[in-house]
Amino acid sequence: MAKLPKPDELIKSIDWTPPEKDWMDDVPPDIKPGRFCYPAKKNILEEIGFPNPRDWSPLDEDWKLPSNYREIIIEGMKDRLSKYRSFKLFMDICVRCGACADKCHYFLGSGDPKNMPVLRAELLRSIYKGELTWQGKFFGKLAGARKLTEDIIKEWFYYYYQCSECRRCSVFCPYGIDTCEVTMMGRELLHLVGCNTNWILEPVRNCFKIGNHIGIPPHTIKEIIEYLCWDIEEVTGLKIEVPFNKKGAEILFVTPSGDYFAEPGIYTMMGYIILFHYLDLDWTMSTYASEGGNFGLFTSHEAMAKINAKIYHEAERLGVRFIIGGECGHMWRVKHQYMDTATGPAPKNLETPRSPITGTVFEHAKSTKMIHVCEFTADLIAHGKLELDPSRNDKYIVTFHDSCNPSRGMGFFEEPRYILKHVCNNFYDMPENTIREKTFCCGSGSGLNTDEFMEMRMRGGFPRANAVQYVRDKHGVNMLACICAIDRAALPTLMNYWAPDVKVCGVHELVANALVFPHEKTGERPRTLDMRQEPLKPEEEENA
Amino acid sequence: MGLKELLIDKKGKIQKKWYQLILETYPPEAAAFFKKNRDQFENPVGAHIGEGVEGILAQLLGKTDEDQVKHYIDRIVRIRAVQDFTPADAVRVFPLLKRAIREVLRDELEDPSFMKEFLALEEQIDEITLKAFDIYHSCRERLYHMKVEEWKSRMYMLLRKAGLLYDEREGSLPPQTNMMG
């Protein structure tokens, strides 16, 4: 039994000095460059029909809010409280036990108390109390209540864009308060008065109008993927053509656009293409539903549903039987938690996904008709349908980062690990309290992976990087695998700062490295390069 | 007893004091947490600072290995380079070691026979502060470098398609871009 402190020890441990300033009086925050994302451009807001389009900067004294901003926010809050039972509960039931306080990666990295999830939620809860409850109106500050002012809007903007909606705090809350949903509500309310960020809303506009985050038109998508097919030919000797907008294909494949235009995501894309070719799948990509990511999730429920709908529209137009989704983070939170109710029911032509190779029926996707590429591949491996040579990945000592949304948003822990253990010989997990449902965020999720936010990203990503440093030092880990496109964009930068000798990859990049084609076995053209066109066995090349 | 022996004797107290002074540069709620939680994964800031403090003191009082000193300075400064500090405040943790030593050895330092050794020690700490500034600067430089690299990675295929990327496989950049660089 742990030693209990004696009364005098307990008394000694109490710090009687009151804090210099009460958090309630400490507004507005000291807004500095490097700690906020640039506001949404005027024309972007106009194009997507969002309120209060204007030119402004968070560094300005005057944020040019509408003159009736108080009524707008309070009405918006009332509306959401009546629509979402969860929001109402989260506003009422917190007992401030502090279990969540030290679980946020932004707090752990920055030490800013307003990044404690409880206090971040309190920024909104105090206004709810002060404006909408009689206790708050009577007892004011005593009841933890405040009145809404312009400075509070500034504070919300600052802190609700310093939360990556990763939900680590909610794992530890005894009441199950999902602080992420409080952030979502905070951001929705801020949209009503035109306080939002360009990094989120320009991709939303591009998704509405063109189909993907950076607005790549169809012919460019096709050309870019042809480039990747040339690379595949270089590595494997195979000439592959990727089907686009193919009517009557069995499977529609949707992946985040980062997989086909950003590095190192492109190697994961090459992985999917090689795997589907190996299986001779009847699949297609869509140049309209050309984005798995959904920045609508970081905007509002309406925007999320609208962006998600195009996947079903394309599945219906192309007449496919089911959908496979690529390695993406928040895309899977949308699919798992909201697709059914926000965008469903699925078009009639879709069927419960059934692997054409193994015959496995994915009953859990009966309603959404969409499965994760990792469960598809894990099932193939379990049925012995892939010939794999894990020694091709021997130069890598691999660890796995559980991306927040697949892990906490849908409980997806084992499939990617199962694949990794079959495609490489050296796999080591990070310490238990930093993986699976307790995984640390990359620090750049929920639309915060922009370069102007670099300092905050490095702070927020530090707990994750610290665990990577540990396995690097202990086991020599040099490759961080993940199943999220934001991770593949943000983790290389994070590693560059905290653990420069660790690279980042998607799971299917390693699958494709290990996948043995018949012509490779006969010695006709043995594989010597990996997806990055680097030697599979660098030591042999050095000795040669 | 020379100053070094005295310092070795009081190492525990100095270490504790220095760590405490560093924590006081953070908001009180954060300082309390950094101090309380001993798990290196749940409290990485506290753990890294603690490791740096212990390592630097051991290096100062034992056999000094330059690389090791840099490693321990890095443990602290890399974090502070991205936290809410000005450059001066970020590296101020090392002058705080001077204060910790002076406070812990307040009475002993009255003895003028320690003066020579004491000045040498303070000079050593000044050197550490200067090294810390080098590391701070390299961290900040890396941040800006990363911003550029990230943009290139983000647009990799588009840049490659436009022939604007230096790539061993694709050949070098077009001449006009080289001239600009």
**Residue B170, pLDDT score:** 56
Kindly determine whether residue B41 and residue A113, on different chains, have CB atoms separated by under 8 Å.
no
Are A494 and A458 in contact by the 8 Å Cβ rule? The answer is: yes
pTM above 0.90, yes or no: yes
Distance, in Å, from the CA atom of B108 to the CA atom of B14, rounded to the nearest integer, reads: 14
Q: CB under 8 Å to B162, separation ≥6 — which residues?
A: none
Confidence of residue A346 (pLDDT cuts 50, 70, 90): very high
In this model, does residue A216 exceed pLDDT 90?
yes
pLDDT digits (tens, 9 = 90+) for A353-383: 999 999 999 999 999 999 999 999 999 999 9
Q: CB under 8 Å to A391, separation ≥6 — which residues?
A: A425
In this model, does residue A464 exceed pLDDT 80?
yes
**Mean pLDDT in residue range A387-404:** 98
Q: Does B142 touch chain A (CB under 8 A)?
A: yes
In this model, does residue A30 exceed pLDDT 50?
yes
**Residue A399, pLDDT score:** 98
DSSP classification of residue A535: B
A456 to chain B: closest CA residue:
B82
Residue with tokens 């906490």: A408
**Residue A436, pLDDT score:** 96
Kindly determine whether residue A462 and residue B161, on different chains, have CB atoms separated by under 8 Å.
no
**Residue A5, pLDDT score:** 67
Distance, in Å, from the CA atom of A513 to the CA atom of A393, rounded to the nearest integer, reads: 7
**Residue A536, pLDDT score:** 95
**Residue A18, pLDDT score:** 58
On chain B, the residues whose CB falls within 8 A of the CB of A454 are 143, 146-147
Q: What's chain A's average pLDDT?
A: 94
Are A477 and A501 in contact by the 8 Å Cβ rule? The answer is: no
In this model, does residue B175 exceed pLDDT 50?
no
Kindly determine whether residue B83 and residue A224, on different chains, have CB atoms separated by under 8 Å.
no
**Mean pLDDT in residue range A487-495:** 96
What is the distance, to the nearest Å, from the Cα of residue A417 to the centroid of all Cα atoms in its chain?
Answer: 18
In this model, does residue A398 exceed pLDDT 90?
yes
In this model, does residue A142 exceed pLDDT 50?
yes
Q: 3-state SS string over B93-105?
A: HHHHHHHHHHHHC
**Residue A2, pLDDT score:** 55
Q: Does B166 touch chain A (CB under 8 A)?
A: no
Q: Model ipTM?
A: 0.92
Kindly determine whether residue B79 and residue A111, on different chains, have CB atoms separated by under 8 Å.
no
pLDDT digits (tens, 9 = 90+) for B63-89: 889 999 999 999 999 999 999 999 999
Are B27 and A111 in contact by the 8 Å Cβ rule? The answer is: yes
Confidence of residue B163 (pLDDT cuts 50, 70, 90): confident
**Residue B165, pLDDT score:** 73
Kindly determine whether residue A113 and residue B142, on different chains, have CB atoms separated by under 8 Å.
no
Q: What percent of chain A has pLDDT over 70?
A: 96
Residue with tokens 């004797």: B9
**Mean pLDDT in residue range A83-89:** 94
Q: What percent of chain A has pLDDT over 90?
A: 88
Q: Does B159 touch chain A (CB under 8 A)?
A: no
In this model, does residue B169 exceed pLDDT 60?
no
**Mean pLDDT in residue range A515-523:** 92
Distances, alpha carbon B18 to alpha carbons A33, B36, B46, B52, B100, in Å:
31, 16, 13, 11, 5
**Residue A541, pLDDT score:** 63
Kindly determine whether residue B153 and residue A451, on different chains, have CB atoms separated by under 8 Å.
no
Distance, in Å, from the CA atom of A273 to the CA atom of A289, rounded to the nearest integer, reads: 17
In this model, does residue A1 exceed pLDDT 70?
no
Give chain A's domains with CATH numbers.
Answer: 21-196 (no CATH), 211-382 (1.20.1050), 390-543 (3.40.50)
**Residue B178, pLDDT score:** 39
**Mean pLDDT in residue range B99-111:** 94
DSSP per-residue string spanning A154-195: HHHHHHHTS-----HHHHH-TT---HHHHHHHHHHHHHHTT-
**Residue B167, pLDDT score:** 61
First to last CA, chain A: 62
A104 to chain B: closest CA residue:
B42
B54 Rama class: left (phi>0) / alpha (psi -120 to 50) / beta = alpha
Q: How many CB pairs under 8 A join A and B?
A: 121
Confidence of residue A129 (pLDDT cuts 50, 70, 90): very high
In this model, does residue B181 exceed pLDDT 60?
no
Q: Does B161 touch chain A (CB under 8 A)?
A: yes
pLDDT digits (tens, 9 = 90+) for A174-205: 999 999 999 999 999 999 999 999 999 999 99
